[in-house]
């Protein structure tokens, strides 16, 4: 897909006004990057209006082998040029669906406590396509409370792993626990699409070694409800124990 077509669709998704109001916030995040260790993740501060990056963290180069300076200079056009051709339309569909959900299904308070995740492949400096899981938290909103500036964290996964492109929206509740409000497998309709958003949250908490009591407290539901969800999850996936459940999803973390 040509860059000009991506720009057109992207502009429709994030159509808004261009004023950036969080310069001091951005400066502080840049300052903190100096202290972060090198690892398999990097982050960017994205500006959907100007389609550029207010900042790209130092780990971009260590994760991809690509030039941080070229990323900053080329903006999103350069980043999009790295996408696997088969992923572009699916990625745009995931963004469109997430923005539609955000602007039609969420209230103003919820929009300011959301975190969004989607994935795709990009070409690294060696010419190999690597999997990227992008998690974006909005930092600034326009007059219609549409997110326009975001903190995006990118996790790099093995290039040999086959991943469906999925889109997720999570809400940070009053107990500081993320609850899944939206999930869609853009690539296909598989078994895991049968798992409800609540069941998805419970799976995520189970594999991070939370007890039923802790899960009930974090999601503000009863222990009985948690255990009912556990049984339903095992039945849907056709496995027999929580141990198998943990093993299954630890090998398939992208699915939740």
Q: Which residues contact 97 (CB under 8 A, 6 or more apart)?
A: 167, 184, 186
- Give 3-state DSSP helix, strand, coil % of the chain, rounded to 5: 45, 25, 30
The three-state secondary structure class of 157 is: strand
Rounded to the nearest integer, the mean pLDDT of the chain is 84
For 100-131, how does the pLDDT look when each residue is reduced to its tens digit (9 = 90+)? 999 999 998 898 888 899 999 999 999 999 99
Q: How far is CA 115 from CA 28, 41, 76, 111, 138, in A?
A: 21, 17, 20, 9, 7
The three-state secondary structure class of 70 is: helix
Q: Which domains are assigned to the chain?
A: 3-187 (3.30.450.20), 189-256 (1.10.10.10)
Rounded CA-CA distance 250/193 in Å is: 18
Return the residue matching tokens 């792993």: 161
Supply the pLDDT for residue 112: 86
Supply the pLDDT for residue 19: 56
User: CB–CB of 195/236 below 8 Å?
Assistant: yes
**Confidence band (pLDDT; 50, 70, 90) for 83?**
very high
Rounded CA-CA distance 60/68 in Å is: 6
User: CB–CB of 131/64 below 8 Å?
Assistant: no
- The pair of three-digit structure tokens given for residue 178, joined into one six-digit string: 């993320």
The model's pTM is: 0.75
Picking from 55-59, 191-195, 198-202, which range would have the lowest pLDDT averaged per residue? 191-195
**Confidence band (pLDDT; 50, 70, 90) for 188?**
confident
- The pair of three-digit structure tokens given for residue 2, joined into one six-digit string: 């040509």
Q: In terms of Cα–Cα distance, which of 215, 193, 198 is closest to 206? A: 215
């Amino acid at each position: 897909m040509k860059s000009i077509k991506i720009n057109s669709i992207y502009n429709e998704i994030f159509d808004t006004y261009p004023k950036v109001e969080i310069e001091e916030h951005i400066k502080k995040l840049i300052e903190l990057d100096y202290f972060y260790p090198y690892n398999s993740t990097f982050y960017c501060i994205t500006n959907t209006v100007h389609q550029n990056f207010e900042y790209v963290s130092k780990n971009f180069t260590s994760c991809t082998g690509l030039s941080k300076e070229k990323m900053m200079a080329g903006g999103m056009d350069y980043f999009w040029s790295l996408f696997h051709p088969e992923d572009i339309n699916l990625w745009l569909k995931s963004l469109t669906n997430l923005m539609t959900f955000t602007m039609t299904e969420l209230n103003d308070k919820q929009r300011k406590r959301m975190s969004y995740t989607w994935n795709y492949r990009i070409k690294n400096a060696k010419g190999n396509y690597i999997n990227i899981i992008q998690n974006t938290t909005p930092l600034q909103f326009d007059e219609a409370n549409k997110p326009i500036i975001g903190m995006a964290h990118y996790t790099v996964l093995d290039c040999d792993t086959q991943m469906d492109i999925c889109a997720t929206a999570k809400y940070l509740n009053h107990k500081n626990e993320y609850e899944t409000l939206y999930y869609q497998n853009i690539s296909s309709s598989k078994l895991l699409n049968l798992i409800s958003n609540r069941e998805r949250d419970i799976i995520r908490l189970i594999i991070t070694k939370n007890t039923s009591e802790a899960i009930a407290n974090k999601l503000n539901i009863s222990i009985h409800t948690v255990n009912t969800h556990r049984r339903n999850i095992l039945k849907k996936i056709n496995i027999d124990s929580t141990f198998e459940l943990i093993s299954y999803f630890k090998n398939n973390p992208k699915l939740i």
